[in-house]
Amino acid sequence: LNLSGFDGIKWFRPTTLQEVLDLKARYPEAKLLVGNTEVGIEMRLKKMQYKVLVHVMHVPELNIMNVRDDGIEIGAAVRLSELLSNLRKVTAERAAYETSFCKAFIEQLKWFAGTQIRNVASVGGNICTASPISDLNPLWMATRAKFRIINCMGKIRTTLAENFFLGYRKVDLADDEFLLSVFLPWSRRFEYVKEFKQAHRRDDDIAIVNAGMRVFLKEEGKNLVVLDASIAYGGVAPLSLSAIRTKEYLIGKIWDQVLLKNALKVLEEDILLQENAPGGMVEFRKSLTLSFFFKFYLWVSNEMD
Ligand code: FAD
């Protein structure tokens, strides 16, 4: 296909991974597309111009949903409705303790946009947009998910979701790279994840603050001790943010009310919202970060009973 001399937008609809790699090599600035729910808004309302669009929905490698011994591998172009129905299926089939992460995604996806958007919007499109209020990115971070990234030479590298978000709509992807798939591990015994989202209304609304929280506990005598934790928020910074100091505080502590009291204090210092932070409602957002953790503490304690 000779497109030289053609000045308009170039639109490609590859059907193999190799074709996507070749297109990325030829046009490093090419914009990958799946549901177009972000790019469509950027082009029509924000008047952003992209000259080369590559619609990757028909590439088999980007549409996988492979159930493995250690977790599920999800292709970057998998649509959110499909993700939801597949997670429901595996949750029904596997041991309850293995699917705490899946259940958190199922619950969060219920409040993600409406059916029309979920039917076309993709896993990779949500991740790579890196919106500071993405409902799913704090959960990928909390669930120890790993992202597989491919470059135009076909070389694959893996990074933890926790390290992928670098700044406002900025991710760890070079010009010649794109997201291939996401690996969501099974949860372990005594490992719990919970999703949170506060919006103005329940249905089809963007979050004011959202979060994904995880603890991995171990029985020591009569006590439960925190072996590992992740506390990730959306809506409190230009990017999905890990509360690192809170995580560090939690590790090694006994899961009891002393932990709750102290963790709330650490969290208050850890998630700092300036008075003039974009988005406003600073006091409300601050109280949401704390009340989510309070709810998380109660929920985990209840799960243990
Ligand atoms: P596209 O628009 O096709 O692409 C988005 C971006 O990702 C582009 O920059 C594209 O190049 C890039 N991209 C796509 N695939 C890859 C890949 N494999 N590798 C590298 N880059 C890639 N979001 C929420 O979190 N919660 C909500 O409740 C919510 N509600 C919404 C409601 C409405 C009405 C709308 C319009 C949007 C809403 N969104 C919400 C945001 C949006 O739906 C999601 O971000 C969606 O998942 C994007 O997926 P997509 O396939 O449509 O992305």
Distances (CA, A) of 124 to 55, 129, 277: 13, 8, 28
| Mutational test site, ligand 1, from 24, 57, 128, 131, max ligand atoms within 8 Å of CB | 128
> In this prediction, does ipTM exceed 0.95?
yes
* Residue 44 included in any domain: yes
CATH number reported for the structural domain that contains residue 281 in this entry = 3.30.390.50
What's the rounded Cα separation, in Å, for the pair 245 and 160? 19
Confidence label for 292 from pLDDT (cuts 50, 70 and 90): very high
Q: Quote the ligand 1 centre to 252 CA distance (angstroms).
A: 38
Instruction: Identify whether residues 127 and 201 lie together within a single domain.
Output: no
**In a domain? residue 75:** yes
Is residue 68 situated within a structural domain?
Answer: yes
State the average pLDDT over residues 221-250: 97
Domain holding 30: CATH number? 3.30.43.10
Q: Is the CB of 55 under 6 A from ligand 1?
A: no
Structural tokens at position 150: 């491919």
Query: Into how many domains does the chain fold?
Result: 3
- Sign of the four-CA dihedral 77, 91, 130, 147: negative
Residue 204: per-residue pLDDT: 84
- What's the pLDDT band for 7 if we cut at 50, 70, 90? low
- The answer to whether 13 and 33 are in contact (CB under 8 A) is no
Cα–Cα distances in Å, from 289 out to 30, 117, 224, 265? 38, 27, 24, 12
Strand partners, 191: 216
Check pLDDT > 60 for residue 159. yes
> Does 190 score more than 90 pLDDT?
yes
pLDDT tens digits for range 267-286: 999 999 888 888 889 999 99
- Looking at residue 301, what is its pLDDT? 96
Ligand 1 neighbourhood includes 151 CB (under 6 angstroms): no
Pair 209, 289 in one domain: yes
Q: Which residues constitute the domain of residue 35?
A: 10-55
- Give the CATH number, domain containing residue 108: 3.30.465.10
Instruction: Provide the pairing of β-strand 52-55 with 10-12.
Output: parallel
Residue 1 pLDDT > 80: no
What is the average pLDDT across 65-78?
A: 98
Looking at ligand 1, which atom is closest to the CA of residue 33? Answer: 3
- What is the four-CA torsion angle of 71, 75, 164, 21, rounded to 10 degrees? 140
User: Does residue 3 belong to any structural domain of this protein?
Assistant: no
